[in-house]
């Protein structure tokens, strides 16, 4: 019986674990050991200067400045779930794409005037302000949280050094890079990657088996994970 290691931030890992259990994965198959945590950071930007927002991660909504809640500002989002969460906070949210790269391609077609604020973490795979610097679309970064690296527990290291393979769902480039830096041999373990870019980082880390979700969302990740964990459909 395979084990699954959830290294997402605690709340997100717990939410994923509950979803897996609801699908039939046994609780004793699941190990929760976050490799990073999300913490708020004081934003150093004039939020009144923005006429719209960019949200590429739901983490940013957890630390949405109070002045923006209920503002009905246009909010261009990555992912349906993030868009729904933004609407619940009183933003006029639009689901433009499922990846940050695709959102960058879609944004210029919206004809938005005035600066957009990209609410993001300290670590990002795509710097929106830099990406649009030489274009007519003005984007400013607004860092509202940080992704703090955490060490894996000794028990987790011991489990990963055993011969039995462990399944690791990997949702972010930051997590993939942190895992790749550990003094562990990943060749016997399985990575389930959210995107092709994350899958490439998993290859660099040395994972023996890598499966990429069909779409960059949790539902597609679950569709890969549950069969691996021995859950039968129907």
Q: Which residue has the tokens 């109070």?
A: 66
Residue 145, strand partner residues: 40, 121
Rg (CA), the chain: 19
- Residue 196: CB atoms within 10 A of its CB come to 11
Q: Which domains does the chain have, with CATH numbers?
A: 3-35+150-228 (3.40.50.10090), 38-147 (3.40.50.10090)
pLDDT attached to residue 232? 60
- Determine the angle formed by the axes of helices 10-22 and 218-228, rounding to 10 degrees: 60
As a whole number of angstroms, the distance between CA 48 and CA 169 comes to: 38
Query: What pLDDT score does 48 carry?
Result: 79
Nearest Cα to Cα of residue 102 among 138, 122, 84, 128: 128
Q: pLDDT category, 234, cuts 50, 70, 90?
A: very low
CB 83 within 8 A of CB 95: yes
Taking residues 92-116, what's their average pLDDT? 92
**Cα diameter, the chain:** 57
What's the pTM?
0.89
Residue indicated by tokens 């933003």: 91
The C-alpha atoms of residue 56 and residue 231 are separated, in whole angstroms, by 31
- pLDDT of 170: 98
Residue 46 is predicted with a pLDDT of 74
Q: What is the mean pLDDT of residues 48-68?
A: 92
Instruction: Provide the angle, in degrees to the nearest 10, between the axes of the packed helices 196-205 and 173-180.
Output: 0
Q: According to the model, what pLDDT value does residue 147 have? A: 95
Answer whether 175's CB lies under 8 Å from 184's CB: no
Percent of the chain with pLDDT over 90: 89
Residue 144 dihedral angles phi and psi, to the nearest 5°: -115, -10
Is 186 within 8 Å of 204 (Cβ atoms)? Answer: no
| CA–CA dist 8, 132 (Å, integer) | 30
Cα distances (angstroms) measured from residue 43 to each of 62, 130, 137, 141, 197? 13, 18, 22, 10, 29
* Mean pLDDT (the chain, rounded): 93
- For residue range 202-215, list pLDDT tens digits in order: 999 999 999 999 99
Confidence grade of residue 107 (pLDDT, cut at 50, 70, 90): very high
Q: Identify the CA nearest to 104 among candidates 123, 120, 118, 87.
A: 118
Exposed e or buried b per residue across 109-148, where buried means at least 16 C-beta atoms within 10 angstroms of its C-beta = eeebeeebbbbbbebbebebbebbeeeebbbbbbbbbbbe
Q: What is the mean pLDDT of residues 194-202?
A: 96
Q: How far is CA 231 from the centre of its chain?
A: 24
**Structure token pair of residue 10:** 């605690």
Neighbours of 43 (CB within 10 A): 16
């Amino acid at each position: 019986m395979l084990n699954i290691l959830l290294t997402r931030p605690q709340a997100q890992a717990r939410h994923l674990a509950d979803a897996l259990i609801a699908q039939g994965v046994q609780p004793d198959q699941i190990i929760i050991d976050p490799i990073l945590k999300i913490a708020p950071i004081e934003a150093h930007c004039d939020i009144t200067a923005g006429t719209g927002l960019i949200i590429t991660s739901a983490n940013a909504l957890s630390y949405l400045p109070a002045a923006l809640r209920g503002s009905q500002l246009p909010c261009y989002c990555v992912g349906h779930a993030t868009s729904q969460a933004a609407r619940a906070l009183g933003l006029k949210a639009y689901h433009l794409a499922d990846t940050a790269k695709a959102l960058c391609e879609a944004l210029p077609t919206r004809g938005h005037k005035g600066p957009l604020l990209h609410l993001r973490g300290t670590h990002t795979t795509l710097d929106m302000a830099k990406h649009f610097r030489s274009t007519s679309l003005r984007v400013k970064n607004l860092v509202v949280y940080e992704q703090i690296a955490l060490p894996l527990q000794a028990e987790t290291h011991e489990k990963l050094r055993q011969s039995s393979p462990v399944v690791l769902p990997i949702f972010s480039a930051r997590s993939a890079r942190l895992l790749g830096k550990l003094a562990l041999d990943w060749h016997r373990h399985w990575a389930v990657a959210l995107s092709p870019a994350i899958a490439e980082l998993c290859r660099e880390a040395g994972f023996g088996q890598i499966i990429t979700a069909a779409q960059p969302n949790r539902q597609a990740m679950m569709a890969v994970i549950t069969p691996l964990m021995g859950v039968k459909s129907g």
